[in-house]
Amino acid sequence: MSAITITEAAQDYLAGLLEKQNTPGIGIRIFITQPGTQYAETCIAYCKPGEQKPEDTSFGLKDFTAWIDAISEPFLEDAIVDYAQDRMGGQLTIKAPNAKVPMISEDSPISERINYYLQTEINPGLASHGGMVSLVEVVEDGVAVLRFGGGCQGCGQVDLTLKDGVERTLIERIPDLKGVRDVTDHSNRENAYY
């Protein structure tokens, strides 16, 4: 069972909403956008069969299945989804006390800190262009070697994006990082986003 609690009242309310979708096997997916940052938002979305991601954790509730996003899961520790009746009818509430808590510390290895900021701050911004960045290695002089994938590959803007956004963010967050380098060959423009 996941670290998240979905109360009976919330389950009944969600089951009612799901029933109205007229989609056999539909469930919910719980995820956090920008987890571990002050912008973290906990979201519940409809999840039709097959829409969940392979790395999601599923847990079966009495009327439906809830899927938990793998990256968000540690941030959903102690989260409670509840449904509270009030004069206006009622509302679903999500309390996720750890959603904004960074899962790394100053003492975490530099590669873990880089990966953390790539996942929580940089990739969510690049996703709108179909791009993503991953860490290849940290070389001895404190330089992170990054690989750009998706729409960033072969994009003429990549030097700008890389030097400006990604490098600035990472150096701001990780003072012992000296800079970033790109391993991707940007001559491949097949999937480029302009």
Rounded CA separation 1/34 (Å): 24
CA distance 91 to 93: 6
Element (H, E) at 186: none
Which residues define the annotated binding site? 152, 155
* Side-chain half-sphere CA neighbours of 15 within 13 A: 13
Binding residues for [4Fe-4S] cluster: 152, 155
Six token digits for residue 57: 């954790």
CA angle 6, 9, 10 (to 5 degrees): 45
| Other beta carbons within 10 Å of 37 | 17
Tokens 């999601």 sit at which residue? 56
